Structure 1
Amino acid sequence: MYRNLVTDLLNYEKITTTEAKAKEVRGLAEEMITLGKEGGLHSRRQALS
């Protein structure tokens, strides 16, 4: 469920959800953005898993 929310957030730049879910998704989305900025092979593989 959180994976879908993070995917939608990154694709559409905003989502409608509850505050509790949003707090959880925020941390996951920030982690994905950090992995994307690193750009190495290891980072890409971590992001896909």
Structure 2
Amino acid sequence: MNYDNACKYLAQKYPRQFARWLLSVDTDDIQVLKTELSLEPIRADSLTFL
């Protein structure tokens, strides 16, 4: 499993804990959108709104 897949899995499965670990932010208002963003210069497999 590469890092991208591992991070994607953890962010989707445990979004609150992932945000706390990555950003040092503790919030209950988290939305994970399983959508792709392919507009240049940003590319993303999914979006998480805090």
TM-score where L is the length of structure 1: 0.30
Query: Which structure features the higher share of strand residues?
Result: 2
* TM-score of the two chains, using structure 2 as the length reference: 0.30
